[in-house]
A and B are shown apart, each in its own frame.
Chain A
Amino acid sequence: MNAGLSQNYFEIFGLPEDFNIDSLQLADHYRELQKTVHPDRFANASDRDRRLAMQQAAHVNEAYHTLKSPLKRARYMLQLRGVEFDDEKETTLDPAFLMEQMELREALAEVKSTPDPFTTLGDILADIEKRISAMLKEFVEKVAAGDLQKAKSIVQKLQFLEKLKTETEGLEADLADAI
């Protein structure tokens, strides 16, 4: 019924469909769009138009937050290319990767008993971030080469790392709050 809602997220912001995105331009276009569609611009409009505005604004928000996050953006690009994700049934089965994950998790579990937990946590976080950026680079290469299955497997691994990163940050927060 509504073409705006069927445009893909890159088109909505008038950006080329490329993983390497100009994040300043994205934020700029996002603000311009919200100035146009946000329900506050329709405070005196009819109930129906207010509801429409709310749907549009929600859609623009969703698009923005998907493109803003590198992991979500990568996943979304694959979905645009017809790759389906079934998170409940599929997990990565790469044994070397799983081994690394276990080691990282063990290191994390022992943080509290290390002499300088904040430095240890900082090192772990830096390590995770290094891995993430290396994988994102690989992702771009695989997509360019048309190897979508490999690209998908990278996204699945990235989801692991992202979760680990969140947990690490949470642990850091707990430690800070306990002081």
Chain B
Amino acid sequence: MALLQISEPGQSSKPHERNLAAGIDLGTTNSLVASVRSGQADTLPDHQGRHLLPSVVRYSANAEPVVGHDAKAAAAVDPLNTIASVKRLMGRGLDDIKHLGSNLPYEFSSTDSTVPRIKTAAGEKSPIEVSADILQVLKHRAEQTLGGELNGVVITVPAYFDDAQRQATKDAGKLAGLNVLRLLNEPTAAAVAYGLDKQGEGITAVYDLGGGTFDISILRLNKGVFEVMSTGGDTALGGDDFDLAIARWIMQQAGIRDDAGHAQLRRVLRDACAAKEALTDSESVELNIELDDGPHWQGTLTREQMHQLIDPLIQKTIVTCRRALRDAQITADEVQAVVMVGGSTRVPRVREKVGEFFQQQPMVDIDPDKVVAIGAAIQADVLAGNKPDGELLLLDVTPLSLGLETMGGLVEKIIPRNTTIPVARAQDFTTFKDGQTAMTVHVLQGERELVSDCRSLGRFTLHEIPPMVAGAARIRVTFQVDADGLLSVTAQEQTTGKEASIQIKPSYGLTDSEIETMLRDSITYARDDVEARNLREQQVEADRVIEALQAALQQDGDLLMEDEVKAIESALINLHNVRQGDDHVAIKKAIDELNEATMEFAGRRMNQSIKKALTGHQLNEFE
């Protein structure tokens, strides 16, 4: 029979082959890559044994970008071409960036695109491209260490990242040639890293203070399921702000003007950071600041003085912690463990204040710099299919409310913050004027009531609404957030059954054609034939579909009637034949046809598995 021909040896997958997977922590200050090897998750070092890769990229004309330690070392001498803390710019528009302050020493160019670009010696670079260059290095490191091509990766993002920031991160992964299995929230990743050791049950708070972002997440762990109860944070608050506060104090003391040159500002920042680190162990630190006009300024910074400078910043994080507890509807004494994540939690004052708030000693067993990457590696290993019976499941939430603009510049919330994802919610709207044939849907993210106070994610217009009297049309707007936290919005006119659906992309994201162009232009794919790449992608998808369907037929073939089996078989044989050819368009078409033919089957299988899940459960309960 035809089905047997397809599953001949060599076509089927090798069940014992391990899929190579990695977890990537794409951080503001440093990035890491980790993987599970021989059952142990660990971060991967470079040739010189260094695990942390500074998230710094230096561009120069006619040469590959330099990423990491060497770039960081060059920051003071070549500030304009050396991009640091690019994560702060991800998913931001030019206006947001101006709002972030004049502290950024880069020059931006305004283009037609909504994505800002930094002027460098190697041309204009968007934050997404800079991030992709960092990811490239980590990808290369992982493939060298693991000895093969990566099957998929999990990239972590701050839980509080909005839709545009998540989309930008995913695009960076794509641009670096990575198969992004999942965007994972950093605090959730940290909880996974701790949770696997302890196999505990109960409520955990994850306090994550990185270089440029702060997150707090409250999670409940129960039988391998991590359920995020609430999350909160600030995408523009981190250890860098400690450095800035100290740097400002130094500038004031040393009489350095605010409009001093880039090089001077960089030096002060570097010295401020060093002073902060020195004060972890000592009561005071001597400062010796090199000034532009030759002489040095000398002074002393005491720990006490530093506390005065950074306490207001720490207090801001505590206020956010309080709100997260409230959102989770619990009190501080119900929290059984507090996990510390991020390099900035090394500052003793931070540990002290967090411990005070939660009335317990925070956990610091796992290196706070590595814990997120380790958790991501564990999740990547599960998603890549290396642990088929893995009990681990992560249920994340939306960090910010999602809604749309209604009359009077007000926001109607469709999905409130801290809703478990994936989620789909619909709401009906109607027309305002007689005979109205179009309606603009303006999608917003944020907690405030006024449109002007929320983040605009995008707008689209639904045309061809049949003319009716005001209030008669029924426009159903559906918001859908997937497991990565990415939003898509569709609108549909209900009364006439006429469908008009549109998907949105964030205002500050790259368009598909921009990504395509970047892919073509990027060094990685310069030698790569785009056609060949498209073909390869479709072949991989075809193999996936064929393999999954064969397994499904073997397992649940009895759910089908004879004529249904015949229809599926013929579509399957067709795809199998077309897949041998080199026409990616034809393969795509055959996949679509097979998907169409098996839609009903897939639905029945899903239902059966739901029933089985509960039946098994109920039987267990009677035992």
Contact A31 B600 (CB under 8 A): no
Which segment of B167-175, B269-277, B416-424, B489-497 sits at the interface?
A: B416-424
Known: A37-B606, A54-B422, A173-B326. A48 touches B595 (CB 8 A): yes
| A27 contact set on B, CB distance < 8 A | 222
Contact with B along A1-14 (1 / 0, CB 8 A): 11110000000111
A53 to chain B, nearest CB (A): 8
Identify the interface centre among B181, B423, B599, B612: most chain A CB within 10 Å of its CB. B423
**A43 and B383 in contact, given A1-B599, A48-B595 (Cβ under 8 angstroms):** yes
Closest CB-CB distance, B606 to chain A, in whole Å? Answer: 6
Interface of chain A, helix or strand or loop or mixed?
helix
Closest to B392 in A: A40
Q: Report the bound CA distance from A3 to B609 in whole Å.
A: 12
Q: Are A61 and B385 in contact (CB under 8 A)?
A: no
Q: Is the CB of B422 within 8 A of A39?
A: yes
In the bound complex, do residue B544 and residue A46 qualify as a contact, i.e. CB atoms below 8 Å apart?
yes
B544 and A58 contact, CB distance less than 8 A:
no
User: Taking the complex as formed, is A18 at the interface, i.e. its CB lies under 8 A from any CB of chain B?
Assistant: no
A35 to B222, CA, bound (A): 12
A52 within 8 A of B: yes
> B602 near A49 (CB under 8 angstroms)?
yes
- Is A31's CB under 8 angstroms from B423's CB? no
Using known A-B contacts A33-B614, A40-B182, determine if residue A176 contacts B393 with beta carbons closer than 8 Å: no
| B602 x A32 contact (CB < 8 A) | no
Point out the residues of chain A lying under 8 angstroms from B323, CB to CB.
173, 177
Smallest Cβ-Cβ distance to A39: which chain B residue: B483
Query: If A35-B613, A52-B603 touch, does A45 touch B548 (CB 8 Å cutoff)?
Result: yes
**A34 close to chain B: CB less than 8 A:** yes
Known contacts A36-B610, A39-B482; A45 and B424 CB within 8 A of each other: no
User: Is A32 a contact partner of B603 (Cβ separation < 8 A)?
Assistant: no
| Nearest CB in chain A to that of B220: its residue | A27
Q: In the bound complex, how far is the Cα of B326 from the Cα of A162, in angstroms?
A: 16
Minimum CB–CB distance from A55 to chain B (whole Å) comes to 7
Interface residues on A, range: 35 or more
**B617 with A28: CB separation less than 8 A:** yes
Establish whether residues A48 and B602, one from each chain, have CB atoms under 8 Å apart when the complex forms. yes
Contact yes or no, B618 A14, CB < 8 A: yes
Known: A35-B225, A44-B544, A177-B322. A55 touches B424 (CB 8 A): yes
Cβ contact within 8 Å between A35 and B614: no
Bound form: Cα–Cα A28–B101 in Å: 48
CB distance from B126 to the nearest CB of A (A): 27
Measured CB to CB, the closest approach of chain B to A58, in angstroms, equals 4
Contact residues in B for A55 (Cβ distance below 8 Å): 424
A56 to B292, CA, bound (A): 63
Given contact pairs A29-B617, A44-B385, A62-B423, A177 touches B182 in the complex (Cβ within 8 A): no
Contacts of B422 in A (CB 8 A): 39, 54, 57-58, 61
The residues of A that contact B391 with a CB separation of less than 8 Å are 35
Range class of the B interface residue count: 35 or more
- A48 and B544 alpha carbons, distance in the complex (Å): 11
When the two chains form their complex, are residues B223 and A31 in contact, meaning their CB atoms are under 8 A apart? yes
A32 x B607 contact (CB < 8 A): no
For chain B residues 1-35, which have a beta carbon within 8 Å of chain A? Answer: 19
Contact B610 A4 (CB under 8 A): yes
Smallest Cβ-Cβ distance to A43: which chain B residue: B383
Give the shortest distance, in Å, between B21 (CB) and chain A (any CB): 10
Q: Within the complex, which residue of B222, B382, B421, B482 is in contact with A31, where a contact is CB–CB below 8 Å? A: B222
Q: Across the interface, do B225 and A36 meet the contact criterion of CB distance under 8 Å?
A: no
- CA of A52 to CA of B425, assembled, Å: 16
Chain A contacts for B224, CB-based, 8 A: 35
Question: Which residues from A are CB-within-8-Å of B424?
Answer: 55, 58-59, 62
Distance of A78 from chain B, by nearest CB (Å): 19
CB distance from A31 to the nearest CB of B (A): 5
* Residues from chain B with Cβ under 8 Å of A59 in the complex: 424
Docked pose: A58 CA to B421 CA in angstroms: 7
Whether the pair B182, A45 counts as a contact (CB closer than 8 A) is no
Contact between B480 and A58 (Cβ–Cβ < 8 Å)?
A: yes
Contact with A along B280-320 (1 / 0, CB 8 A): 00000000000000000000000000000000000000010
CB distance from A30 to the nearest CB of B (A): 9
Contact B602 A52 (CB under 8 A): yes
Nearest opposing residue in chain B for A170, CB measure: B326
Output the least CB separation between B106 and chain A (Å).
35
Query: What is B's interface to A at a CB cutoff of 8 Å?
Result: 19, 152, 181-182, 222-225, 227, 319, 322-323, 326, 382-385, 391, 393-395, 419-425, 480, 482-483, 541, 544-545, 548, 591, 595, 599-600, 602-604, 606-607, 609-610, 612-614, 617-618
Q: Which 5 A-B pairs have the closest CB atoms?
A: A2-B603, A43-B383, A4-B607, A36-B613, A58-B424
A-B contacts, 19 listed (Cβ < 8 Å): A3-B604, A12-B610, A14-B618, A28-B617, A31-B223, A32-B617, A34-B393, A36-B610, A37-B610, A38-B393, A38-B395, A39-B482, A43-B182, A46-B541, A46-B595, A48-B595, A54-B480, A61-B423, A173-B322
Q: Which residues of A contact B (CB under 8 A)?
A: 1-4, 12-14, 27-29, 31-41, 43-49, 52-59, 61-62, 64-65, 169, 173, 176-177
14 other A-B residue contacts (CB within 8 Å) besides A37-B610, A44-B19, A61-B419: A3-B607, A4-B607, A29-B617, A32-B613, A32-B614, A36-B613, A38-B395, A44-B384, A46-B545, A49-B602, A56-B610, A62-B423, A177-B322, A177-B323
